[in-house]
A and B are shown apart, each in its own frame.
Chain A
Amino acid sequence: MPERENWNTARAEQIIAAGKEREGPLLPILHAFVEAFGYVPDPAVPMVAEALNLSRADVYGVVTFYHDFRREPAGEHVVKLCRAESCQAAGCEALADHLIERLGVGFGETSTDGRITFEAVYCLGLCSISPAAMIDGRLVGRLDVKRLDRALEEVVR
């Protein structure tokens, strides 16, 4: 995973200033927060609202609408397993059971040691090589238990 910065207001102001002149600036700015800090920290919400002349409720509403704008930092490693129809047809649910057992976390959860976040994703566009997953941003397809374990071992030691 890329190095994440710790929350600091100077950096946050920089992100907002860099994005606020664009047309429809809110989503690009929120993406930039996730890029920098790994999540959208709560103190960012009033700052963005102020800069874009929106209410806090507006910004909060947008942050909470989209799956990508997490409000808590994710674990050190993020495992996203596709659970959409094509991957279902190719047996992703068996892989899900295997991962839940192996990682010790359920969908949408982060392990207590903060090492791993496990999430479902609905389609990675790899449907012709289902089942597929994204592990720390790296795509893997044609998965079976063996290939999945090998891909995991490369990033999650």
Chain B
Amino acid sequence: MTIRLYVPRDAAAVACGADEVVVALKIAAIAAKFDIEIVRNGSRGLHWLEPLVEVVTPEGRIGYGPVEPEDAAALIAAFAGDGSHKLRVGKPEELPFLKRQTRLTFARVGIVDPRDLDDYKAHGGLKGLEKAIALGPAAIVEEVTKAGLRGRGGAGFPTGIKWKTVADAKIDRKNPADRKYIVCNADEGDSGTFADRMLMEGDPFCLIEGMAIAGVATGATKGFVYIRSEYPHAVAAMNAAIDKARRANILGTKILGSSYVFDMEVRVGAGAYVCGEETSLLESLEGNRGTVRAKPPLPAHKGLFGKPTVINNVLSLATVPVIVADGAEAYRNFGMGRSRGTMPIQLAGNLRYGGLFETAFGITLGELIDDIGGGCSTGRPVRAVQVGGPLGAYFPRELFDTPFDYEAFAARDGLIGHGGIVVFDVTVDMRRQARFAMEFCAIESCGKCTPCRVGAVRGAETIDKIIAGKEVARNIAVIEDLCQTMKFGSLCALGGFTPYPVLSAIRHFPEDFHGTPLRVAAE
């Protein structure tokens, strides 16, 4: 009898030694004359347990983790016997971290074999695309609009409205050069975020299906996934899946036997953070410097190569199949206020239980950090959390009652961005974090607009003066003034949002800026 094991191919598992564990398990199995087959799945998102090895048993999949190569022989013996081993965690879906989640976008991630189309179909894959073809363009756009799906990249713009604009755009159908595009923004550069990467590595067919539905809905015939070069595993997973999807007629001239045409390819970024901004991403795809375009015209009117273009984040597109398959109502029943559905939240930084936590909007920051994340891995108290990447605000414990919701964060001068949460313990010096925000903006500025290009450099210099204790009050006033200029004068969110981390650090952690930082005082 062959026993089936699952060992993730997800980059986070690989970085913790999953590949070495696979080799060790194979060697140990041969030595024990025990037949195993290993499936390289995506990650379940319980990253403190990676590499998480799962074995298929009559009761279901049983997890063991975190596994080191040295554990292989004992694990194989356990699989051959009664299954007991010190690393045994039981059924992953019974662990509180997973049990408390509502997985819609990530329903299959960690469960299926990302390279196996049949496995995808067996877990509900392609139902959305089949239904979309039956519904036709207008009804698909209607469903996505009704579901209340908003851009998961950070801006939170209603996806249905974007699609409708592109669907309504006129093109000359007889001219093959005149076409519409679907562009997937997979330039996930925000620190603290990894959901796009996990989805592309763990369920790439889902993104393909979402893009194909977007193509059917808007009349676009060509798609690009722009993936950052720091994600080689995601690039490989997407390329392998696109190849399989083409052979299975999910992509091509008659998708699923219909009259719709849609094909797509992967493009790799080149290490520029600003290319996560949609217009500079389009410039980059066209082969130019990744400088930001002024809007209008909107990409929906004049996007890639000047053609009508839907540009959406990975998570937005990958959520479309479940919305179309199960209907808008089922999706919009989750969430609060104007934030409908679920959000794949990413727990990172100095946190005991880091990973991916998909849940309905409305959960509070405190629940996420204390109950689910388990506080700091260093065992020290949490002092600050940055939500929404390098351009997101730093929140102190006093704001932990903020619900995870676009408007609730905006009301407290923050943003949820792409859903990343980075936790810092009490050793953090908020002046350094404020300085880093300016420094990062200076490094990554595309240079097109002055507030960002010059403001970030001057900002870093001014914070250096504050750190050195020079005319602190006066220099803080300079920073506040500079931040106003950057916020309202920059062309895009890089310069426009860099003030969020800077001003929130000054506002919520004044003790670090005025006088001796806590850390020094405590020592």
Interface residues in B392-435 by Cβ distance below 8 A to A read: 420, 422-425, 428, 433
Given contacts A27-B267, A65-B272, contact A129 B16 (CB under 8 A): yes
- Top 10 closest A-B pairs, CB basis? A26-B287, A128-B354, A84-B191, A67-B271, A127-B348, A66-B270, A89-B349, A141-B15, A139-B15, A128-B47
Contact A126 B194 (CB under 8 A): yes
**Pairwise interchain contact A88-B436, C-beta atoms closer than 8 A:** yes
B192: interface (CB < 8 Å): yes
Q: Which residues of B lie under 8 Å from residue A88 when comparing CB positions?
A: 424, 433, 436
Task: Contacts A31-B270, A84-B390, A123-B191 given; indicate if A62 touches B288 (C-beta within 8 A).
Answer: yes
Q: B289 an interface residue at 8 Å Cβ cutoff?
A: yes
A130 vs B272: C-alpha distance when bound (angstroms): 21
The answer to whether B350 touches A123, judged by C-beta atoms less than 8 angstroms apart, is no
Contact A125:B287 (CB < 8 A) given known A31-B270, A84-B390, A140-B15 = no
Task: Give 25 pairs: A residue, B residue, CB < 8 Å, sorted on A.
Answer: A24-B285, A24-B286, A26-B287, A31-B229, A58-B288, A66-B269, A66-B270, A66-B272, A68-B270, A84-B191, A85-B349, A85-B386, A85-B390, A86-B191, A89-B422, A122-B390, A125-B193, A125-B197, A126-B194, A127-B193, A127-B194, A128-B12, A128-B348, A137-B232, A140-B15
CA distance A28 to B231 in the complex (A): 16
Check A148 for interface membership: any CB of B closer than 8 A. no
Is B89 close to A, CB under 8 A? no
* With A61-B289, A65-B289, A85-B433 as contacts: A129 and B50 at CB distance below 8 Å: yes
In the docked arrangement, what's the CA distance between A24 and B349, Å? Answer: 37
- Residue A43 lies at the interface, judged by CB distance under 8 Å to chain B: no
A65 to B194 Cα, complex, angstroms:
25
Q: Which residues of chain B from 247 to 306 have a CB within 8 Å of any chain A CB? A: 267-273, 284-290, 305
> A71 to nearest B CB, angstroms?
13
Classify the secondary structure of B's interface with A: mixed
Q: Of residues B270, B351, B377, which shows the largest number of chain A Cβ atoms within 10 Å of its Cβ?
A: B270
Cβ of A96 within 8 Å of any chain B Cβ, yes or no, is: no
Of all chain A residues, which has the CB nearest B230?
A: A124
A127→B192 contact, CB < 8 A: yes
Q: Which residues of A contact B290 (CB under 8 A)?
A: 65-66
| B45: nearest chain-A partner, CB-CB | A128
Closest residue of chain A to B444 (Cβ to Cβ) is: A122
Digit string of B216-249 for contact with A (CB within 8 Å is 1, else 0)? 0000001000000111100000000000000000
B440 contacts A129, C-beta separation under 8 Å? no
- Contact indicator per residue, chain A 112-147, by CB within 8 Å of chain B (1) or not (0): 000000000111111111101010010111100000
Q: Is the CB of B347 within 8 A of A128?
A: yes
A-B contact sample (5 more), CB < 8 A, given A84-B192, A128-B12, A128-B355: A23-B305, A27-B285, A66-B270, A68-B269, A122-B273
For window 159-177 of chain B, which residues contact chain A by CB distance below 8 Å? none
Chain A residues contacting B377 (CB-CB under 8 Å) are 90
Indicate if the CB atoms of B16 and A142 lie closer than 8 Å: yes
Check if A25 is an interface residue, CB within 8 A of chain B: yes
Asked if A95 is an interface residue, CB under 8 A from chain B, the answer is no
Interface residues on B, range: 35 or more
Chain B proximity mask over A79-104: 1 for CB below 8 Å, otherwise 0: 00000111111100000000000000
Closest A residue by C-beta to B274: A65
A12 within 8 A of B: no
Q: Interface readout for A33-59 with B: 1 if CB under 8 Å, 0 if not?
A: 000000000000000000010000010
B residues near A, CB below 8 A? 11-12, 14-16, 47-48, 50, 188-194, 197, 222, 229-232, 267-273, 284-290, 305, 346-351, 354-356, 377, 386, 390, 420, 422-425, 428, 433, 436, 440, 443-444, 446
Shortest beta-carbon distance from B399 to chain A in Å:
18
B354 touches A27 (CB 8 A): no
Give B47's nearest chain A residue, CB to CB.
A128
Q: Are A123 and B286 in contact (CB-based, < 8 A)? A: no
User: B425 near A89 (CB under 8 angstroms)?
Assistant: yes
Kindly state the separation between the CA atoms of A126 and B188 in the bound complex, as whole angstroms.
Answer: 12
Q: Which residues of A contact B15 (CB under 8 A)?
A: 124, 126, 129, 132, 139-142
Check A27 against B349 for contact (C-beta < 8 Å).
Answer: no
Query: A24 → chain B, closest Cβ, in Å?
Result: 4
Q: Cβ of A30 < 8 Å from any Cβ of B?
A: yes
- Is A7 in the interface zone, CB < 8 Å from B? no
Nearest opposing residue in chain A for B423, CB measure: A89
Q: How far is the CB of A61 from chain B (nearest CB, A)?
A: 5
Q: How far is the CA of A84 from the CA of B437 in the complex (A)?
A: 10
Q: Of all chain B residues, which has the CB nearest A80?
A: B230
Does B347 lie within 8 Å of A122, measured CB to CB? no
User: What's the minimum C-beta distance from A110 to chain B, rounded to whole angstroms?
Assistant: 17
- Rounded to whole angstroms, the CA-CA distance of A123 and B355 in the bound complex is 15
State whether A67 and B270 are in contact (beta carbons under 8 Å apart), knowing that A125-B194, A126-B15 are contacts in the complex. Answer: yes
B439 to chain A minimum Cβ distance, whole angstroms, is 10
- Docked pose: A85 CA to B16 CA in angstroms: 20
In whole angstroms, how far apart are the Cα atoms of A21 and B286 in the complex?
A: 13
Partner of A128, one of B231, B346, B424: B346
